[in-house]
Amino acid sequence: MADTSTRLLDGPRGPKPKSNFSRRNIMLYGTLLLVAVYYAIPLYVMIVTSLKGLPEIRMGNIFSPPMEVTFEPWAKAWGSACTGLNCEGLSAYFWNSVKITVPSVIASIIIASVNGYALANWRFKGANVFFTILIFGAFIPYQVMLYPIVIMLREMGLYGDLSGLIIVHTIFGMPILTLLFRNYFTSLPEELFKAARVDGAGFWGIYFRVLLPMSLPIFTVAVILQVTGIWNDFLFGVVYTGPDAYPMTVALNNIVNTTQGVTEYNVNMAATILTALVPLSIYFVSGKLFVRGIAAGAVKG
């Protein structure tokens, strides 16, 4: 009788070997690399340019690293670049943007999450009509409503003020955020909601103590969407606020489009990066949760 080890014949045995350099992998990673480079180059040029002095920029090698690193453009962009007549840099406008973004994000998320919760779990009369109207709102171009809102804000005495802009942002965030929250809450097991009702929790009790603690991913998604959306907004900012209350994006535009004197590319680049820094850092901090939340909430209709 043969020993057991001799029962193995030549040929495939154990796990199938995987080649790291298969054609499929080369295609896959090659494409990924290409796309990554394509998107990274502009950022690289911006950072490199912002660290150069003007004479070096005029030499024209936009891809070469700075010979002499200088942070002066950054300081200037933040503190003393001229936006129109005043030369205070972006700092004041940065705080304007913060004052606009923080309340708008908080208000819109609170309202939209309660909306979504009510739509998903408490099917009140007319819920479908309400939801349809809300979703319809997402498809109306902003520009159509610009002027009517100017009039409305003027009548309310909020035109040219930060609070007017905050209200506008909160309202315009409503359709997409409500949809997001409704879909997320619909995807949670319905029995959980039923169990909480049997346990005597009311509308707010279920919202705060049962659903909210399990909704971190979708709240992260909402925060990211809203922070980037509101921070990057230019149109509403320029229309509904006065020069003192301009958000950072409007100020950035004014710095970059200034027609007097030389164009300071390094300052422009630094100012742009400074402006983009907030949404960018939010992505870096919570990217993982973002993906999870998008997958959980946005896919299911």
Residues that bind another protein (CB under 8 A): 189, 191-192, 194-201, 205, 209-210, 213-214
Residues 236, 238: Cα–Cα separation, whole Å:
6
Picking from 218, 242, 231, 219, the residue whose alpha carbon sits closest to that of residue 104 is 231
Say which residues have a Cβ less than 8 Å from residue 17's Cβ, sequence separation at least 6.
none
Phi-psi region of 141 (alpha: psi -120 to 50; beta: other; left: phi over 0): beta
Give CA–CA dist 36/57, Å, rounded.
25
Q: Least distance to another protein from the beta carbon of 195, Å?
A: 4
- Report d(CA 109, CA 225) in Å as an integer: 10
Shortest approach of another protein to residue 168 CB, angstroms? 35
Are 240 and 159 in contact, with CB atoms under 8 Å apart? yes
Q: Minimum distance from CB of 215 to another protein (Å)?
A: 10
Those residues whose C-beta lies under 8 Å from the C-beta of residue 260, and which sit 6 or more positions away, are 82
Residue with Cβ nearer another protein (14 or 213) = 213
Dist. CA 161–CA 154, nearest whole Å? 10
Q: Based on CB atoms, which residue is closest to another protein, 40 or 212?
A: 212
With respect to another protein, which residue has the nearer C-beta, 199 or 244?
A: 199
- Cβ burial of 225 (10 Å; 0-12, 13-18, 19+) is buried
- Residue 68 vs 191, nearer CB to another protein: 191
Q: Which is nearer to another protein, 72 or 199 (CB)?
A: 199
Q: Minimum CB separation from another protein for residue 128, in Å?
A: 12
Say if CB 137 and CB 196 are below 8 A apart. Answer: no
Q: How far is the CB of 206 from another protein (least distance, A)?
A: 10
The three-state secondary structure class of 8 is coil
Residue 122 CB, nearest approach to another protein (Å): 12
Decide whether 119 or 179 has the Cβ nearer to another protein. 119
Nearer to another protein, 194 or 288 (CB): 194
| CA-derived radius of gyration, the chain | 27
